[in-house]
Structure formats: structure tokens, C-alpha cells
A and B are shown apart, each in its own frame.
Chain A
Amino acid sequence: MSHDSITDAPATPQDAATDLTAWRRRIVALAMKLVWNRDDAEELTQEAFVRASLKRLTPGDACFGPWLMRTVANLCVNHRRRKRPEPLTEASLERAGARVQPPYDDVDRMTRLRTQLEQLPDQQRIALVLRGMEGLDYEAIAEIMDLSAAAVRTHVHLARKRLLELSHERDRA
């Protein structure tokens, strides 16, 4: 994707074609962060693109990116898991750039965080994934979630607070 903002439109049809591929990759990655199964993520991405084509949206449309991300996020939270989440392994963490060292508790920590994320209310989970994992700013997330930036900030704050509480509860147990 050659644009910094998710709302920038491509300049030429070639850019649009390139963007379509890049968008697909990006949407699969977002879906993966919400369902944690590659097959399901690709299937839900496909569904989102089908819906976009039915609405005749193209990468040239300014609303294409936010609409696609909102659609796939909603599909993901309404999705009934049919397949097991992909296992997180030391190898996958190392490939992702983690320095996996003794006592090798990184895999446990990441798996635990993933489970705790799934316990959050849907809006909080989507907001935190878009902010903390996708790295989007609050205005961009607000456009995707069709909320105000202040509301998004509240969702992110509550999500972070809840994750810390869950972590503390586990430490106490």
C-alpha cells in the first residue's frame, strides 16, 4: 500500500490494482488478530471483499479501507469459531522477532494475552486491536468503527484497564 493514511485514494488504476492486493493482505492480518485461525481469517476476508464488490466499492473510493476493516471486524466478532486457534510456538515468536530465551515463558504470556483479549467486550477488543496491534491513530479508528475519537479512546482505555486487571487476578491466583 503506497498511502500513509487508510483514506488516501490511489492515483492510477495500476495503483488501485496494487492496493487491492495489499488491502487483502492487510485485511487477512486484521482478521487473524481477531479469530487467530488462518483459514477462518482468509474466509472472512473473502466474505468482506465479496460484500465490497456487491456495494461496488473499489480501492479508489475514499471509504474503501475503513468500510472493509469495519466489515471484516464485524464478521470476525460475529464469527462462530469452527477451527482451533493457531498454536503460538517459540518458532513463530522467534520468526516474529522475539528474543525467546529461558525460562521460555514468552509463549505462555502471548497465549494468555490472546485469551484475555477474547474476553473483552467486542467494541473494546476491536478498538484495542486497531490501536495496539494495527497501530492506527484514534481518528482513523473512529472512522472505521463509526464512533467519535473520544469514544474510541474510552474503549481503548477500558480494554487496557481490563487486561491489567485480568493479569493481576491471575498473579493473585
Chain B
Amino acid sequence: MSACDAFRDQIERRIDGLLDAEFEASLAAHLSRCRECRDYEQAQRALSVDLTMLSRVAHELTTPSVAANPTGSGWIRIATRAAAIALVILGTWTFVRKPNAMPIAPSSPPIAGTSNAPQLERPPIRFAAHVEPLDATTRFAVPIETDNPRVHVVWLYDSLNEIQEPAPASAPSL
């Protein structure tokens, strides 16, 4: 262990408040003539301050302002679910009346030499009666279930308002 290594151990002890008084003078003398150890002490102190700040941020994130008003938060959750269920009912009713308005991707151009290949039938679409909020502040996704487990269709809404007042179902996002 070099002399600097020993002093750097003392630097950490000093930051932790554990350095014995008898070492203070020798450490101060070393720091006065070793720039690298001064930089090391400065970096360690900055790290210590940043860790303390990050700790405060973590505490802040576990007690966000919305948690202080659980009634409001719960109301929004209930309203979101109610709006989603209403949307599912409305959507089902719409597609029962207009089966051609199913939100599917445009069909691919035929592959050469396969014009006589049997055409795949559109999978029947069912709506899942729940909403998955992707993010509290951005989008809501309404999953639309199909019989094909490899096909996942979701309808994205940018805001709760959009769910409450759905636009005409002409261009769903896939």
C-alpha cells in the first residue's frame, strides 16, 4: 500500500466521521502537498453529497404529492375503468353494426405464383374488458383480443379525455 493509499483510507474515514484526531494533522499535511489526494477528497465529498441527495429523491418518489390525496387518486382510477368499460361496450356495438370497420392492417400484395393460395380468414375480434395504463401521464392502451396468440392488437389513446370522448373509429393505431 502506497503512502497515498493509506491517506485515502483516512480521507474516507474522515468523510465518515471516524478518523481519529491523532491522524488529522498528518492527513492535513499530506493534503497540503498532494494535489491528487486533494482531488480524491473533493471527489469523495461530492459523491457523498450526491448519494445523500439521491436518497432524498428516493424518499420523495415514495411519497408523491398524488399519494397525499388517495380519494382523488382512487376516483380517477374508478373513472378510468368506468370509461374503459363504456368504451368496450360502445366499440363492440359499433363493430357488430359495421363488421367491415374492423381495425385490421391493410392486406399485403399477393406474392407471385400464389394467386391460387387459399385466403386466410380474418380472425374474429373480441374486446378485453379492461384497460392497461401504460403510463400515468401519457397513453392508455385498450387491448383487443384475437384468437391468434401471435397477433396483438391494441388501441392507443393519448389521454383519459380521449377515452371518455372517443373519436370516430376510423384509424386505430396498431
Contacts and interface: CB of A to CB of B under 8 A. Distances in A.
Nearest to B50: A113
Interface residues of A, number: 34
Query: Which of B52, B53, B56, B61 has the most C-beta atoms of chain A within 10 angstroms of its own C-beta?
Result: B61
Interface stretch (B41-49, B107-115, B149-157, B159-167): B41-49
A94 to B, nearest CB: 9
A38 B61 contact: yes
A29 interface: yes
A98 B58 contact: no
B61 A92 contact: yes
A22 to B, nearest CB: 13
A88 interface: yes
Contact of A163 (B47, B53, B56): B47
A116 to B, nearest CB: 10
A86 B16 CA distance: 29
A167 B43 CA distance: 10
A29 B62 CA distance: 6
Interface in B51-103: 51-62, 64
A29 B56 CA distance: 10
User: Could you say which interface size class chain B belongs to?
Assistant: 20 to 34
A160 interface: yes
Interface string A120-136: 00000000100111110
A12 to B, nearest CB: 27
Contacts of B47: 132, 160, 163-164, 167
Contact of B57 (A93, A128, A163, A167): A93
A114 B61 contact: no
Given A113-B54, A164-B40, 6 more contacts: A38-B61, A110-B57, A132-B52, A132-B55, A133-B54, A134-B55
23 contacts: A28-B62, A29-B62, A32-B58, A32-B61, A32-B62, A33-B55, A92-B57, A95-B60, A96-B56, A96-B57, A110-B50, A110-B57, A113-B54, A128-B51, A132-B52, A132-B55, A133-B52, A133-B54, A135-B55, A156-B12, A157-B9, A164-B40, A164-B47
